[in-house]
């Protein structure tokens, strides 16, 4: 149990589908993050939420839409994705927002866009 739970673990969707990824943290942290992990590339930060407010959006296409209803839950809504969006999507949380507060990652959702 990592303290950060992501569902589903695997997702296959067509380019016209709409789906959502869910993340829940049980650590009492105040910041939550979405990262994209692609092969042979560094982890890419997509969104940051601090105290339920989005504080960062790293030029992510609008086909990715985050939602943070409370400090324990984070969603990533997906629609009209492209095959190049296939990747491992990782959720993370930290006590404080900021690079030097350790990140706690979930085990990710492996997304395949067909």
Partner 1 sequence: GENVEQHPSTLSVQEGDSAVIKCTYSDSASNYFPWYKQELGKGPQLIIDIRSNVGEKKDQRIAVTLNKTAKHFSLHITETQPEDSAVYFCAAILTGGGNKLTFGTGTQLKVEL
Query: Torsions phi, psi of 41, nearest 5?
Result: -125, 155
How many residues contact partner 1, by CB under 8 A? 21
Asked whether position 90 contacts partner 1 by CB under 8 A, the answer is yes
User: Is residue 83 helix, strand or coil?
Assistant: helix
40 exposed, middle or buried (CB, 10 Å; 0-12, 13-18, 19+)?
exposed
Q: Is-cis flag, bond preceding 8, omega within 30? A: yes
Is 5 a binding residue for partner 1 by CB under 8 A? The answer is no
Binding of partner 1 by 74 (CB under 8 A) = no
Among positions 24, 104, 111, 113, the unique one binding partner 1 when judged by CB under 8 A: 104
8, 14, 61, 102: which one binds partner 1 (CB under 8 A): 102
Tell me whether residue 2 or residue 114 sits nearer to partner 1 (CB atom).
2
**Tokens of residue 3, six digits:** 């303290």
For residue 60, state whether it binds partner 1 (rule: CB under 8 A).
Answer: no
């Amino acid at each position: 149990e990592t303290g950060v739970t992501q569902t589903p673990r695997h997702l296959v969707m067509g380019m016209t589908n709409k789906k959502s990824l869910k993340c829940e943290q049980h650590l009492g942290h105040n910041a939550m993050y979405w990262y994209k992990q692609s092969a042979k590339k560094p982890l890419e930060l997509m969104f940051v939420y601090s105290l339920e407010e989005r504080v960062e959006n790293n030029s992510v296409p609008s086909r990715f839409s985050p939602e943070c209803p409370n400090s324990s839950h984070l969603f990533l809504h997906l629609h009209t994705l492209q095959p190049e969006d296939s990747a491992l999507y990782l959720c993370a949380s930290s006590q404080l927002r900021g690079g030097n507060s350790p990140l706690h990652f979930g085990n990710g959702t492996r997304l395949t866009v067909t």
